[in-house]
A and B are shown apart, each in its own frame.
Chain A
Amino acid sequence: QPVLTQPTSLSASPGASARFTCTVRSGITVDTYRIYWYQQRPGSLPRYLLRYKSDSDKHQGSGVPSRFSGSNDASTNAALLLISGLQSEDEADYYCAIWYSSTWVFGGGTKLIVL
């Protein structure tokens, strides 16, 4: 079972909200780790968006709009990335990541389609 599992794709309309899930492997509790989120637009390098562990332990990347936010869902042991007010430029791949067992581990990524 992978450490981090993400859905392959997600579709949403401009102006709507998108909710990305990053499910943490059973045996690892999501709220004990900082989860990092990265965006990779087509043909571009990955870009750090934000980090979330709790409301008192979170960080927004430089220049990242406040419409990007993080949270956790303890009931499903998942980290969440929420994007409100979707724009066409948000169409990209989104990766969650965790520092686990002395190495970075990425989720498989979710492709956001804005249509």
Chain B
Amino acid sequence: EVQLVESGGGLVQPGGSLRLSCAASGFTFSSYEMNWVRQAPGKGLESVSYISDSGSTLSYADSVKGRFTISRDNAKNSLYLQMNSLRAEDTAVYYCVREFGAILDIWGQGTMVSVSS
């Protein structure tokens, strides 16, 4: 079964850091581009970051540029998102999303990140 399982979310104070992980299974992880997409409570979808299959190409939303870093370990079938200098507006469910043929086709269940003092 194709599956993405996120972990690492939680409550953190403004200015703090978190590292999200996404464990992939059921498919050849190294062959797929991956994304992090977030959804604030009661709000819409927002793309956070993209990484190519090899990890050589990265991109970020302007709202997180300079604060977040996406990475992957194809040997461990894992995707990561290092989040620094967190702000209240970063509070959201963070989804790990597989991209196939420019289609966001497989979504993890998400991990909740809450930034509050």
Hey, which chain A residues are within 8 Å of B60, CB to CB? 103
Complex alpha-carbon distance, A51 and B101, angstroms: 11
In the bound complex, how far is the Cα of B102 from the Cα of A59, in angstroms? 11
- Please indicate which of the listed interface residues A40, A51, A103, A105 has the most CB atoms of chain B within 10 Å of its own CB: A103
How many interface residues does A have (CB within 8 Å)? 22
Q: Contact at B44–A102, with CB atoms within 8 Å?
A: no
Among B47, B102, B107, which residue has its beta carbon within 8 angstroms of that of A105? B47
- A38 touches B (CB below 8 Å): yes
User: Could you tell me the dominant secondary structure of chain A's interface residues?
Assistant: strand
* Chain A residues near B104 (CB-CB < 8 A): 36, 38, 46, 48, 97, 104
A52 close to chain B: CB less than 8 A: no
Say yes or no: A104-B103 contact (C-beta < 8 A), given A93-B44, A109-B45. no
B22 located at the interface, meaning its Cβ lies under 8 Å from any Cβ of chain A in the complex: no
Residue A20 at the chain B interface, CB threshold 8 Å: no
Tell whether A109 pairs with B102 under 8 Å between CB atoms, given A45-B95, A46-B107: no
On chain B, the residues within 8 Å of A104 by CB distance are: 35, 37, 47, 50, 104
**CB of B85 closer than 8 Å to a CB of A:** no
A102 adjacent to B45 (CB under 8 Å): no
A-B contact sample (10 more), CB < 8 A, given A48-B104, A97-B47, A103-B59: A40-B45, A45-B107, A45-B109, A46-B45, A46-B104, A59-B103, A95-B45, A103-B50, A104-B35, A106-B44
